[in-house]
């Protein structure tokens, strides 16, 4: 019987674009020599780049009426770390695929090793390392004083061998560190290429769904902090979380970017110690570790991260510019929003800083993504410009509109309650966020315009 030739396609390693034939330059991203051959498999067998797992029984899936589908709660179990459970939406869901990204040295492998060593005491667990030797992993576990008597460890980069080991051990939790080094023999491209990452991730995710295994995939990041590899990788998985760090801080923030089983933008906080990553139960107390001597240009804001309030300090520095175009620098804040707020401050606050350098920073390496920090940022800028220290026990939040209005923000009551718990006695908030019942020990001022907020600072 004559053999049927396998179908091939050509895929760009940089952006994932597909072509029917090879070409020197990708038409979409413009990269040279990035188009590689991608074998689709034997069309006679209906194959794909990765062989089918579990086979096809020939029976079609049965269509069901939507209202007849049972709304049973997805069974979850705890990872042993409450901060990780918070980011994942309440725990681990069987059959879920979770992508963990982060900079080199952020602590991705440490976090997963700590989690698996403790989960292995209750469930079968398998840790696949493709970048380190088993001895290196064992040395880290010994240094972190982790229980190592139950965890199964394997150094492998072939996805076929990984599946064979998983089918033999039948783990409830499987970690693959990392997806960029895993490859399949069905493709001729190098490990880490778009086609290899896509097919290996699809292979492992399909295995997790079929067996109910919790799958953790470790992913590399690019220079700009986004996950490396094809964008389809983020569509395949159920949860995408990013472990963020700064070079001068021992704290790590774990932020959810995608979650099919819970809310996104949840934030977990860890501290890197000699015994591994330790959970920070009260992150507000960490980020409010302020200087003993109060200084101008400092304001505290209550931001909302996921399902809880978080108190952080915003600092601003306004200084005479020595160049023709004054600098605008924002760390932990959006640069374009800083420029917009400075224009609002000039138009509706009567403060001209066009000839001044303006620097803004969120203390502790936290990145503030919501608009509730607008008013606090402007108050810190005014404090630095006028060299007037704001009250140490003052908390500020509110969104500032282009017309100078102070707009309300969600969960205002919870933000004020968190501030009161940490000893704050004064608050400047949008008028619509004024509490219905007085908060014991706290004086809350409601403002509706920017000039009212600036006048409240002088009072």
Predicted confidence at residue 356, as pLDDT, reads 94
pLDDT at 207 over 60: yes
Band (pLDDT 50/70/90 cuts) for residue 251 is: confident
Averaged pLDDT for residues 409-416: 94
pLDDT at 148 over 80: yes
Dihedral angle over CA of 191, 196, 201, 202, nearest 10: -160
Predicted confidence at residue 36, as pLDDT, reads 78
Higher local confidence (pLDDT), 87 or 61 = 87
DSSP 248-304: T-SEEEEEEEEETTS-SS-EEEEEEETTEEEE-S-HHHHHT---SS--TTEEEEEEE
Exposed, middle or buried, 396 (CB in 10 Å: 0-12/13-18/19+)?
A: buried
Higher local confidence (pLDDT), 226 or 18 = 18
**Angstrom distance (rounded) from CA 126 to CA 308:** 33
pLDDT at 13 over 80: no
Most confident range, picked from 97-106, 222-231, 245-254, 371-380? 371-380
**Angstrom distance (rounded) from CA 439 to CA 419:** 11
Predicted confidence at residue 316, as pLDDT, reads 97
* Longest alpha-carbon distance in the chain: 92
Predicted confidence at residue 44, as pLDDT, reads 36
Most confident range, picked from 21-30, 84-93, 280-289? 84-93
Asked if residues 301 and 275 have their Cβ atoms less than 8 Å apart, the reply is no
pLDDT at 124 over 80: yes
Which segment of 41-50, 150-159, 326-335, 338-347 scores lowest on mean pLDDT? 41-50
To the nearest whole percent, how much of the chain has pLDDT over 70? 90
Q: What CA–CA distances, in Å, run from 119 to 78, 149, 177, 252, 254?
A: 9, 12, 17, 22, 20
**Angstrom distance (rounded) from CA 259 to CA 165:** 28
pLDDT at 80 over 50: yes
Predicted confidence at residue 7, as pLDDT, reads 66
pTM of the model: 0.74
**For the chain, what is the mean pLDDT?**
87
Give the tens place of pLDDT for each residue, 353-371. 989 999 999 987 788 988 9
Predicted confidence at residue 58, as pLDDT, reads 47
- Assess whether the previous peptide bond of 178 is cis (omega < 30° from 0): yes
| Stretch (H or E) spanning 38 | strand 35-41
């Amino acid at each position: 019987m004559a053999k049927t030739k396998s179908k091939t396609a050509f895929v760009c390693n940089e952006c994932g674009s597909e072509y029917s034939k090879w070409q020197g330059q990708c038409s979409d991203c413009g990269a040279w020599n990035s188009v590689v051959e991608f074998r689709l498999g034997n069309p006679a067998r209906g194959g794909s780049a990765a062989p089918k797992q579990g086979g096809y029984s020939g029976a079609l899936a049965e269509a069901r009426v939507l209202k007849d589908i049972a709304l049973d709660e997805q069974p979850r179990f705890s990872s042993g770390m409450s901060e990780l459970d918070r980011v994942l939406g309440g725990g681990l869901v069987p059959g879920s695929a979770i992508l963990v990204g982060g900079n080199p040295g952020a602590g991705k492998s440490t976090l997963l090793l700590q989690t698996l060593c403790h989960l292995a005491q209750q469930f079968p667990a398998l840790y696949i390392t493709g970048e380190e030797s088993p001895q290196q992993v064992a040395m880290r576990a010994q240094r972190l004083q982790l229980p190592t008597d139950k965890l199964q460890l394997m150094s492998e980069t072939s996805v076929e061998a990984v599946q064979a080991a998983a089918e033999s051990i039948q783990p409830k939790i499987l970690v693959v560190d990392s997806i960029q080094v895993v490859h399949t023999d069905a493709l001729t491209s190098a490990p880490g290429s778009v086609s290899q990452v896509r097919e290996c991730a699809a292979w492992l995710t399909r295995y997790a769904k079929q067996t109910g295994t919790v799958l953790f995939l470790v992913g590399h990041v690019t220079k700009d902090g986004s996950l490396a590899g094809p964008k389809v990788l983020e569509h395949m998985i159920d949860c995408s979380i990013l472990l963020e760090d700064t070079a001068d801080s021992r704290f790590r923030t774990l932020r959810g970017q995608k979650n099919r089983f819970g809310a996104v933008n949840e934030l977990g906080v860890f501290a890197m110690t000699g015994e591994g990553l330790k959970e920070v139960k009260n992150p507000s107390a960490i980020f409010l570790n302020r200087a003993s001597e109060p200084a101008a240009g400092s304001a505290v804001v209550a931001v909302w991260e996921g399902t809880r309030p978080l108190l952080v300090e915003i600092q601003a520095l306004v200084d005479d510019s020595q160049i023709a175009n004054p600098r605008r620098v924002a760390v932990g804040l959006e640069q374009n929003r800083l420029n917009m707020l400075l224009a609002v401050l000039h138009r509706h606050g009567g403060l001209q800083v066009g000839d001044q350098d303006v620097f803004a920073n969120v203390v502790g390496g936290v990145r503030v993504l919501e608009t509730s920090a607008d008013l606090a940022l402007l108050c810190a800028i005014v404090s630095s410009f006028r060299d007037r220290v704001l009250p140490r026990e003052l908390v500020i939040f509110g969104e500032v509109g282009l017309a100078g209005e102070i707009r309300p923000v969600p969960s205002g009551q919870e933000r004020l309650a968190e501030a009161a718990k940490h000893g704050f006695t004064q608050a400047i908030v949008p008028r619509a966020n004024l509490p219905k019942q007085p908060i014991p020990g706290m004086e809350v001022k409601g403002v509706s315009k920017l000039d009212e907020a600036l006048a409240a600072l002088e009072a």
